Amino acid sequence: MARPAYKRILLKLSGEALMGSGQYGIDPAETARIAVEIKAARDAGYELCLVVGGGNIFRGLAAAAKGFDRASADYMGMLATVMNALAVQNALEQAGVDTRVQSAIPMASVCEPYIRRRAERHIAKGRVVIFAGGTGNPFFTTDTAAALRAAEMGCDALFKGTSVDGVYDADPKRVAGATRYETLSFGKVLADDLKVMDASAVALCRDNDIPIVVFNIRAEGSLTAVLAGEGVSTTVGGEDNNGSL
């Protein structure tokens, strides 16, 4: 494997990544496959931490649109991320990877509370830390939680595992001629409202100089390939052509 460009990364997984071919919930086989991908990256010498969304179980924004109180709906979504984090933890530990789950919403009977210095020690000892509960506050997405944790953990990059192999100028599932970007600036993503992550997450990564790497987590071996600079992905980072961020 080529010399890595990054040492410590935060991997952001959508809740939908755990569904497999289903329409709802957690597919144990797909979760186990993702765990093998993460183990391969850890065994290759990378330090990893994770944030997992909850959209496969409950999506707060969608529920708010149907009449739920937005804050209550967001808290329900945060609880869904804890369920997903425990599922990923189980799969990783079955694969032989030592893990810890830390939740921004304290629930001592289930997992550790989020404590930054403790999380840093876990990562330094080779454990994979899974951050659950979002930021612990309503009105913030798990994308923003991922950007926040990446900054707090001093990560070299934020890897976003999706169902497509990068960022396109149009939806590649609907537009046959859509073109994939190799690289993008933070400014272009924000100015063109490209659907990489929500704007606050992109701005947080920009302000902390954390590149965002978008790749297809559903493709076998994709995580270690992209980490080694060999896979297909889009990297968001750096300055616009005019020199502005």
- Residue 244's pLDDT is 39
Q: Is 23 exposed, middle or buried (0-12, 13-18, 19+ CB in 10 A)?
A: exposed
Q: How far apart are CA 49 and CA 1, in angstroms?
A: 21
Say which CATH number the domain at 174 has.
Answer: 3.40.1160.10
Cβ atoms of 148 and 214 within 8 Å: the answer is no
Partners of 12 in beta bridges: 51, 160
Q: How many domains does the chain have?
A: 1
Residue 218: in which H helix or E strand, if any? none
Identify the pLDDT of residue 2: 45
Q: Return the residue matching tokens 């976003």.
A: 160
What does pLDDT average to in each consecutive run of 10 residues of the chain (245 residues)?
Answer: 73 92 90 96 95 88 83 94 97 97 96 97 97 96 97 97 90 86 94 90 96 93 89 84 41
Strand-pairing partners, residue 216, are 162
Residue 92 in domain: yes
Evaluate whether 184 touches 235 at the Cβ level (below 8 Å).
yes
d(CA 112, CA 102): 5
Q: Which domain holds residue 193?
A: 8-236
pTM over 0.85, yes/no: yes
Residue 57 in domain: yes
The answer to whether residue 3 is domain-embedded is no
Identify the pLDDT of residue 173. 82
Determine the Cα–Cα distance for residues 99 and 218; give it in Å rounded to an integer: 22
